[in-house]
Amino acid sequence: MHIAAILRLNPVLTEELEVDEDGRDIDREWIGLELNPFDDQALEQAVLLKEATGAKVTALAAEAEGGERLLKTALARGVDEVLLIEVGEENVQLSSRARAPLFQEALEGLAPDLVLTGVLSTDDIYGELAPQLGALLDWPQVSAVSNVALGDGVATLQQEYSGGISARIEVQLPAVVGLQAATQPPRYVAGSKLRDLLKVEVPTVEPGADFGADLADATELEVPDTSGGAEMLTGDAEAVAARIHEILVERGLV
């Protein structure tokens, strides 16, 4: 059994985001990048399945910057092999739609039984990755999945809907899964483990496939106007607590 986990870097969203001068991309000068939280879940699920079944796990990435470090983290988390698809340093803004044919090509080469990636990335304006890969590879695909178990030629998945309702789905392998939550929360990796991997060479591959066409040239980004939003309460925690208490008293809520 061979599992491929596709990992992407995302801007850290707890930091301030600004739009660059021509309004086409976020200002990438100062932002931090982190593993897309849903891809983090996919990585954890892949490693959990490896532990449960002895499957081999290969982690894939296609990043202009930071891909090596990302894949070393995956090695520290327990994947067996990694592969970095070279996209060129200048291609810092690549949508899932743009990268999908590159991942398709790599997956056709690896021929895994199961592909796990995060259900979405918050910049997937032109479509999420897993359902696109399902169509490109002509493999069955299920998104918004929590819990994956492997059986004989099948995977059993739980797909989540609104209201806490979910369905159990049995899908034939090979298949692509857009993961929402792993069976267990992602594990912590010790810094020392990462340091041990500093010297490891991350294998790279030049893609033969072209980027997928998306509408990035037709998109403009803006910071939303929140002026109609909250009335802000100022002061230290004590002052804020006092104001909240007042508001609740005025409204008969306490």
Partner 1 sequence: MRCLIFVEHSDGTVSESALELGAMAKSIGAEAVGLICAADPGAVNALAGQLGSFDAVIGVADDSLATYNPDAAARALTAATEAHKPDLVMTSYSAAGVDLAPNVAIRTGRQMVGYVSGLELDGDTLNAMSTVYSGKLVARTGMDLPGIVAVMPGAVKADGLSGGAPAVEMMDVDLSGLRMRVTETLVPENTGVNLADAEKIFCVGRALGGTEKIELAENVAAALGAELAGSRPVIDAGWMPKVRQVGKSGTKVKPRLYLMAGVSGAPEHLEGMANSELIIAINSDEQAPIFGTAHYGAVCDMFELMPALTERLTAGK
Of residues 107-126, those binding ligand FAD (CB under 6 A) = 119-120
- For position 142 contacting ligand FAD by CB under 6 A, the verdict is no
Q: Mark 84-103 with x for binding to partner 1 (rule: CB under 8 A) and - for no binding.
A: -------------x--x---
- For position 35 contacting ligand FAD by CB under 6 A, the verdict is no
- For position 14 contacting ligand FAD by CB under 6 A, the verdict is yes
- For position 168 contacting partner 1 by CB under 8 A, the verdict is yes
CB 222 within 8 A of CB 19: yes
Instruction: Between 52 and 244, name the residue whose CB sits nearer to partner 1.
Output: 244
Q: Which of 78, 92, 164, 157 is nearest to 119 (CA)?
A: 157
CB 11 within 8 A of CB 32: yes
Token pair for 134: 């399902």
Q: How far apart are CA 223 and CA 23, in angstroms?
A: 10
Q: How far apart are CA 103 and CA 96, in angstroms?
A: 10
- For position 144 contacting ligand FAD by CB under 6 A, the verdict is yes
Cβ at position 13, least distance to ligand FAD in Å: 6
Instruction: Between 16 and 108, name the residue whose CB sits nearer to ligand FAD.
Output: 16
Q: Which amino acid is at 254?
A: V
For 191-194, the CB contacts below 8 A with 24+ separation are 193/76, 194/72, 194/73, 194/76
Instruction: Between 14 and 192, name the residue whose CB sits nearer to partner 1.
Output: 14
Token pair for 115: 């592909």
Cβ at position 161, least distance to ligand FAD in Å: 9
Instruction: Between 113 and 124, name the residue whose CB sits nearer to partner 1.
Output: 124
- For position 17 contacting partner 1 by CB under 8 A, the verdict is yes
By a kind-dependent CB cut-off of 5 to 8 A, residue 245 interacts, out of ligand FAD, partner 1, none, with partner 1
- For position 162 contacting partner 1 by CB under 8 A, the verdict is yes
Contacts of 148 (CB under 8 A, 6+ apart): 45, 49, 114, 116, 155, 156, 157, 177, 179, 183
- For position 41 contacting partner 1 by CB under 8 A, the verdict is yes
Instruction: Between 58 and 180, name the residue whose CB sits nearer to ligand FAD.
Output: 180
Q: Which of 21, 54, 152, 164 binds partner 1 (CB under 8 A)?
A: 164
Give the β-pairing of 81-85 and 166-172.
Answer: unpaired
Token pair for 34: 């982190």
Where on the chain is the footprint of ligand FAD (CB under 6 A)?
A: 14, 119-120, 144, 180
